[in-house]
Chains A and B, each alone.
Chain A
Amino acid sequence: MDTIKKLRYRYWPDRAIGELLAKQWMETAVPLLVLVVVVAAFASVVDNFLAFSSISVLLREASEIGFIVFGMALVLIVGGIDLSVGSMYAICNVVVLYLIHVQEWAALPAMGATLLCGALMGAVNGVLIGYLKLRAFLTTLVTLIVFRAIFNLIQFNWAVEIASTIPDSDLWDELGNDTFLALPISTWIFIVVAILFHIFLTRMRGGWHIMAVGGSRRSAYNSGLPVNRIAASAYVASGVFTAVAAILFAARVDSSSADTGMGIEIVVLAAALLGGIRLGGGKGSVAKAVLGTLIVLIVTNSLRGLSVPAGYIRMTLAFIMIAAVTLDIRWFKNRGKALRELYVSPGYLPLPGAPATSKASGSPYAVNNKLGQTELIGLGMVESPEDVILDEHDHLYCGTRHGDIMRFFAPDYQRMELYAHIGGQPLGMAFNKVGDLYVCVGGMGLYCIRRKDRAVEKATDETGRSLLSVVDDSRLRLADDLDIAPDGRIFFSEATVRYEMHEWPIDSLEGRGNGRIICYDPATGRTHTALKNLVFPNGICMASDGQSLLFAESWACRISRYWFDGPRKGQVEVVIPDLPGYPDNINRASDGNYWIAIMGMRSPSFDLAMRSPAFRRRMVKRLGQDEWLAPNINVGCVIKCDESGRVLESYWDRSGENHPMITSMREHRGYLYLGGISNNRIGRYRLDHADPDFMQHPIEQV
């Protein structure tokens, strides 16, 4: 039974589902699915649905309507709506026909003038809505009526003249009727514009500005964007896109009627909404607009092909719109919740029995009160000193959650100064041979503070991307602890690739191999992943042979040794398989042994939960985060072990007053310095029989 459970949680892609849903393009996948379903449904009932001629007709129509949908999409993204597209379309249509048929302009200037005409009409909307702050819905409703009235007047005057002449323009005819590589010219134009438009929206400054204004108008304003101008220009663009559609339509049909563009705004709006472009603004893409257009046109054309009365077709469109809007609202409201629930994917993590810790047990882990008399440094002056380190002058360095490296001055450590500001939470630290301080920074990567001028430099923040990972795991999310090999290479752990710095407790509920060990070579500047699929790898410490390192896997409660060089290169061997708690940093002791910080203790019910992934998954879904079971990181200790993994002794603060929570310890000249990620102090403990000159990272004077 356990084996089945184990295999199921090892190989079933629980993680991928949540990660896929978190992808931006998943929102486009829904309309794509709808399109496939629609095509499949109508292909089976409509005759000649997949015939080339009917596809060609559909594409021609889609490229005309598609341009208007682009305009509508822009306006929707910026947070507005444009109902006047139908009337603008009609006017542009009659204008271009009048210029070519009656005024006998050449095709190109006539089209240019029509585009200008569309831009002008869009500008009316833009000025009213963008600068005068009128409501988009009412304003465009009014311009819909006004433009329609103007259209009726000029169409009445020009219709006969347009119908009575036939233009003599090859370009105009080609635009209307020719094909290139079997596709209509208008479709090629549409494809080119769509690609350019996509690049504009996703890769260019203007597109980003439009997205920003739609996403949060206030934030866009506060970050200095000309909000009014951007909103207005979206309407102008909508006018121009409508004009393009009108020109293509005019070239194809070559005549004008009184009902041109009537009700087209409904079709366009339905297409945009069905594609997944939000009414609220800030979301939308070219792919969505295209998909929406295709779906709506396939539905309406096929229904027409089935001789469904026009009224019913309209009604179908209305239903599609209502359904799309409802779905969109529900999805948008619950998306975060659904994602959060699906993202956490607990794994099966059976732990070996925990060794006894009770006072009477006589085990090396037995609780004592050695740390009860710890001297406190910087009480209330620092927050979250995860790691501490000392230099050759005994000055003490620690990180804080404000993103600083603080320095306490020897010998009394009463005064401190800001050594360097990094910006992210500093975690593990190590000096290289010349005294440059390498720091793992949560959420940022590996950083270096030069000794000579305290300049903060990024060492690395990315590694190779895994082949079979849904999320891009090349960025470093939670660099945790590091040590430097004799040849200068830096090995550091990344605790998890699935959670951010402040979310690391959630990773404890997954208990999966989400972490890795990464190697950065300052000589070449290259970074590569050395070991993958580790369960919250945390502390790293070079072993005595200079060819291997010890590393801790927190949630798996074990210490392993990894050979990165020498005859055993690439091998991993578990050194301590069954710690009674969750190991954090590892550092060297002066007697050749190793210090290991135990940041929290295992509890039997949490261990049981780690063997019950389905229980944890339901817990994550049903309960708020504060109510979840958690590893007990309120109490910890420091243990000392030798290189073979034999645990020698442990140091506790049983009273829990001074230093119950420990994530790191550093031996330095006869003292042990203690850090804790949720502490507001640093501890200092006098070691008996320790080498009074010991420094873990000796600094050569240069």
Chain B
Amino acid sequence: MLKTLKRARDRFFGTGEADTSVPVLDGALKPNNLLETAEVFFERPGLEDLAIDAHGQLYVAAGPEVLLIGADGRVQDTIGLQARAQALAVCHGNLVAATSQGLQFLAGPQVGRHVQSFGGHPIQCINALSEGPDGTLLLSEGSHAVPCDEWTADLLTHGRSGRVLAYDPRDDSCRVLAQGLAYCFGVCMHEDGVLASESWAHRVQVLRDGRMQAGLSEIPGYPGRIAPASGGGYWLSIFAPRSQLLEFVLREDVFRKEMMSTVEPRYWIAPAFSSGQDFLEPLQQGSVRQMGILKPWAPPRSYGLVLRLSADLAPLFSMHSRVGGVHHGIVAAQEYAGSLLALSKGSGRLLRLPLFEQNPQA
């Protein structure tokens, strides 16, 4: 009874569960065009993740391949995978890639090892890898229910089956650090704990001693992979924007179910890595072109955003590719040879930005 009344009140005033507001891009998140105007370091369709080994060599995962890229941006070597790469990392000397088939150790002491399941459960949705403590490998599993490619389905069904795992390749054991996350996409060591992006909850969680605590919340987008930054702090890639329309659709159960059952996934009302190329995608009134111009503040379907966090997870500054741009869907950002590499999955481009330019304090 009380619940019904509360729901009626919420619906009338647009508060509580009927609240579709989204945090604004302001303060450290004030929009700029740094990502859009950044130098394109490397370009290939299907780019997914990047990793830098102890010798400073750059590997990128693109489609079913891992490529070694020289300092000049040319491909020097290619390693084939069993399936499309979902994540890549260098961990205690091992080059590891995750695919829908599990983990593949491509180089290093454990080369040739192939992990397909943990405790009998296949691991199909590992979307980020990171070096953990004591020789372990940290894994972020987006969802237990759907494969990696169908992440929008997980979002639209309010998925809460993401996990953070710690795998020890020496004895092939796996420990669950956290579970029940609303899509986990990105892990990283943090002091004596672990950072994990909980995408659908728009926050970065801090895992410490089996307890979970929100480190950064109310992000105006869906947070993705996290990488350490030189001088302390982190680079957080935000792979898709939040929009009020989507927040509204997430509360419209009947419509959402019908949409998911009758409409092709790429034309759902859902965020995307890139948008604007196909007229069958949904469009919002603010995105109607006037005099041939799409306003950069139009409601986004895809967006490019990298957020620099301080060591205590406070946002410092950000780099953007706004609506109408192409460098959207930033899924990874790491420092490489004195610059920042941001991987735009939407455009299949690896962008290079000078480190000093972005930091207003520098």
Residues 252-270 of B, flagged 1 when their CB comes within 8 A of A and 0 if not, give: 1011001100111001110
Closest to A630 in B: B285
Which of B14, B282, B287 is close to A622, meaning CB atoms less than 8 Å apart? B14
Residues in A with CB closer than 8 Å to B262 are 604, 608
CA distance A660 to B288 in the complex (A): 12
Known contacts A608-B262, A612-B258; is A626 also within 8 Å of B298 by CB? yes
Known contacts A606-B282, A623-B245; is A678 also within 8 Å of B288 by CB? yes
Residues of chain B touching chain A, judged by Cβ–Cβ distance below 8 Å, are 14, 18, 20, 243-245, 248, 252, 254-255, 258-259, 262-264, 267-269, 279-292, 294, 298-299
A616 CB to nearest B CB, Å = 9
Interface locus among A6-14, A223-231, A272-280, A632-640 = A632-640
> Top 8 A-B pairs ranked by shortest CB distance?
A626-B286, A635-B279, A605-B282, A601-B279, A630-B285, A632-B283, A604-B263, A680-B291
The answer to whether B252 and A603 touch across the interface, beta carbons within 8 angstroms, is no
Residues in B with CB closer than 8 Å to A505 are 285, 288
Q: Is the interface of B mostly helix, strand, loop or mixed?
A: loop
The answer to whether A680 and B255 touch across the interface, beta carbons within 8 angstroms, is no
The answer to whether B280 and A625 touch across the interface, beta carbons within 8 angstroms, is no
Residues in B with CB closer than 8 Å to A635 are 279
Closest to A611 in B: B258
- Can you name 8 extra interface pairs (CB under 8 A) apart from A605-B268, A615-B252? A505-B285, A608-B255, A609-B255, A612-B258, A626-B285, A629-B283, A631-B283, A634-B288
Residues in A with CB closer than 8 Å to B289 are 634, 660-661, 678
Closest to B286 in A: A626
B123 CB to nearest A CB, Å = 32
Q: List 19 A-B contacts (CB under 8 A).
A: A601-B280, A603-B267, A604-B262, A604-B263, A604-B264, A604-B267, A605-B259, A605-B269, A615-B252, A626-B298, A627-B245, A627-B299, A629-B283, A631-B283, A632-B281, A633-B288, A634-B288, A680-B291, A681-B292
The answer to whether B20 and A623 touch across the interface, beta carbons within 8 angstroms, is yes
Residues in A with CB closer than 8 Å to B290 are 678
Q: Is A493 part of the contact surface with B, judged by Cβ < 8 Å? A: no
CA distance A615 to B255 in the complex (A): 7
The answer to whether B292 and A623 touch across the interface, beta carbons within 8 angstroms, is no
CA distance A217 to B243 in the complex (A): 42
Known contacts A601-B279, A608-B259, A623-B244; is A629 also within 8 Å of B284 by CB? yes
Residues in A with CB closer than 8 Å to B18 are 622
The answer to whether B285 and A625 touch across the interface, beta carbons within 8 angstroms, is yes
The answer to whether B282 and A629 touch across the interface, beta carbons within 8 angstroms, is yes
The answer to whether A634 and B279 touch across the interface, beta carbons within 8 angstroms, is yes
Known contacts A608-B259, A612-B255, A622-B18; is A627 also within 8 Å of B280 by CB? no
Known contacts A623-B244, A623-B248; is A604 also within 8 Å of B299 by CB? no
Q: Is A619 part of the contact surface with B, judged by Cβ < 8 Å? A: yes
A321 CB to nearest B CB, Å = 27
Query: Which interface residue of A612, A619, A622, A631 has the most chain B CB atoms within 10 A?
Result: A622
Residues in B with CB closer than 8 Å to A631 are 283
Residues in A with CB closer than 8 Å to B244 are 623-624, 627
Interface residues of A in 593-615 (CB under 8 A from B): 601-606, 608-609, 612, 615
Residues in A with CB closer than 8 Å to B294 are 634
Q: Is A208 part of the contact surface with B, judged by Cβ < 8 Å? A: no
Known contacts A603-B281, A604-B263; is A618 also within 8 Å of B252 by CB? yes
Q: Is A383 part of the contact surface with B, judged by Cβ < 8 Å? A: yes
Which of B14, B258, B285, B288 is close to A627, meaning CB atoms less than 8 Å apart? B285
Which of A604, A630, A679 is close to B284, meaning CB atoms less than 8 Å apart? A630
B160 CB to nearest A CB, Å = 24
Query: Which interface residue of A505, A612, A681 has the most chain B CB atoms within 10 A?
Result: A612
Q: Is A628 part of the contact surface with B, judged by Cβ < 8 Å? A: yes
Query: Which interface residue of B252, B264, B292 has the most chain A CB atoms within 10 A?
Result: B292
CA distance A624 to B245 in the complex (A): 9
CA distance A618 to B290 in the complex (A): 27
CA distance A623 to B105 in the complex (A): 48
Residues in A with CB closer than 8 Å to B299 are 626-627
Residues 484-512 of A, flagged 1 when their CB comes within 8 A of B and 0 if not, give: 00000000000000000000010000000
Residues in A with CB closer than 8 Å to B248 are 618-619, 622-623, 627
Residues in B with CB closer than 8 Å to A626 are 284-286, 298-299
* Contacts between chains A and B (CB distance < 8 A), count: 107
Residues in B with CB closer than 8 Å to A383 are 291
CA distance A631 to B286 in the complex (A): 11
A565 CB to nearest B CB, Å = 39
CA distance A110 to B283 in the complex (A): 76
Query: Which interface residue of B243, B264, B289 has the most chain A CB atoms within 10 A?
Result: B289
CA distance A632 to B259 in the complex (A): 18
B206 CB to nearest A CB, Å = 33
The answer to whether A604 and B245 touch across the interface, beta carbons within 8 angstroms, is no
Residues in B with CB closer than 8 Å to A606 are 282-283
The answer to whether B267 and A605 touch across the interface, beta carbons within 8 angstroms, is yes
Residues in A with CB closer than 8 Å to B267 are 603-605
A612 CB to nearest B CB, Å = 5
Residues in A with CB closer than 8 Å to B243 are 627
Residues in A with CB closer than 8 Å to B20 are 622-623
Known contacts A604-B267, A608-B263, A612-B255; is A629 also within 8 Å of B245 by CB? yes
A579 CB to nearest B CB, Å = 14
Known contacts A619-B248, A623-B20; is A603 also within 8 Å of B287 by CB? no
CA distance A632 to B281 in the complex (A): 8
CA distance A227 to B272 in the complex (A): 58
Residues in B with CB closer than 8 Å to A612 are 254-255, 258
The answer to whether B291 and A627 touch across the interface, beta carbons within 8 angstroms, is no
B245 CB to nearest A CB, Å = 5
The answer to whether B245 and A630 touch across the interface, beta carbons within 8 angstroms, is no
Residues in A with CB closer than 8 Å to B291 are 383, 678-680
The answer to whether B286 and A634 touch across the interface, beta carbons within 8 angstroms, is no
A371 CB to nearest B CB, Å = 14
CA distance A505 to B243 in the complex (A): 20
Residues in B with CB closer than 8 Å to A604 are 262-264, 267, 280
B294 CB to nearest A CB, Å = 8
Interface residues of A in 233-261 (CB under 8 A from B): none
A676 CB to nearest B CB, Å = 9
CA distance A623 to B283 in the complex (A): 14
A626 CB to nearest B CB, Å = 3
The answer to whether A679 and B292 touch across the interface, beta carbons within 8 angstroms, is yes
B201 CB to nearest A CB, Å = 21
Residues in A with CB closer than 8 Å to B288 are 505, 630, 633-634, 678
Residues in B with CB closer than 8 Å to A601 are 279-280
Residues in B with CB closer than 8 Å to A630 are 283-285, 287-288
B261 CB to nearest A CB, Å = 10
CA distance A681 to B289 in the complex (A): 14
CA distance A635 to B290 in the complex (A): 12
A701 CB to nearest B CB, Å = 38
Query: Which interface residue of A604, A615, A627, A630 has the most chain B CB atoms within 10 A?
Result: A627
Residues in B with CB closer than 8 Å to A633 are 288
A660 CB to nearest B CB, Å = 8
Residues in A with CB closer than 8 Å to B14 are 621-622
Query: Which interface residue of A623, A628, A634 has the most chain B CB atoms within 10 A?
Result: A623
CA distance A621 to B285 in the complex (A): 15
Residues in B with CB closer than 8 Å to A619 are 245, 248
Residues in B with CB closer than 8 Å to A605 are 259, 263, 267-269, 282
Residues in B with CB closer than 8 Å to A615 are 252, 254-255
Residues in B with CB closer than 8 Å to A602 are 280
CA distance A627 to B298 in the complex (A): 8
CA distance A372 to B199 in the complex (A): 41
Residues in A with CB closer than 8 Å to B283 are 603, 606, 629-632, 634
B262 CB to nearest A CB, Å = 7
CA distance A624 to B247 in the complex (A): 13
Residues in A with CB closer than 8 Å to B258 are 608, 612
